[in-house]
Amino acid sequence: MPTCEHKPCAVLPKFKGDSGTPKLSFYPAELWDEKHGGRPGTWRVMVGDKWLTRDDESVSFFTVEGIASIVLDHLAAGLGVAVLGPGLTPDLCPKSPVRYWPHGQILPTDTFTRTAPFRDQRGEWRVWVAFVQKPVLLAELSPRQSPRNSGSFLHG
């Protein structure tokens, strides 16, 4: 049974009755050391007495969008109602030039998107980028100017 030495910054109570749900506890990423990969502005979530993780991760941190999805799922389950699917995708095309700052690296990586953004199982926006082995959070990317459009060459 996982325990946490830290106090959560927010707690949603459990729902009782036929559609009962466990309580949700939210912890800011800054409470964990660098080796776990938490970035400021993300949170770790405990559902009941277990950490919520994505299928391919041993420790997961969630953006505000991910937290919103978790809370919506919690509320819908407690009320016994269905949740509607995701809406429109952000306007980012494949091969868009982006800058990605991999966890633990001193300098960012200039790369490009390989796919259009998509929502993961928690509703957070992700995209595949070149030179990275798994999809990254859209929130971890920043736009960059394409070298082809940098204006460094005179056009005739």
- N-term to C-term CA, the chain: 69
What does the block give as tokens for 122? 């928690």
Give, as one character, the DSSP assignment of residue 76. Answer: H
DSSP characters for 115-132? S--EE-TTS-EEE-BTT-
For the chain, what is the radius of gyration of the CA atoms?
19
| Per-residue tokens: 76 | 């819908």
Contact yes or no for 29/41 (Cβ under 8 A)? yes
For residues 154 and 135, what is the distance between their CA atoms, to the nearest angstrom?
A: 37
Cα separation, 105 vs 120, in Å, equals 25
- Give the tens place of pLDDT for each residue, 51-86: 999 888 888 899 888 898 888 888 888 888 776 555
Most trustworthy range by pLDDT among 8-12, 28-32, 122-126: 8-12
Comparing 57-66, 102-111, 121-130, the range with the smallest average pLDDT is: 102-111
**Helices and strands (H, E) in the chain, number of each type:** 1, 10
pTM of the model: 0.61
Which pLDDT belongs to residue 156? 39
pLDDT at residue 151 is higher than 50: no
Averaged pLDDT for residues 102-117: 84
> Residue 152: pLDDT above 50?
no
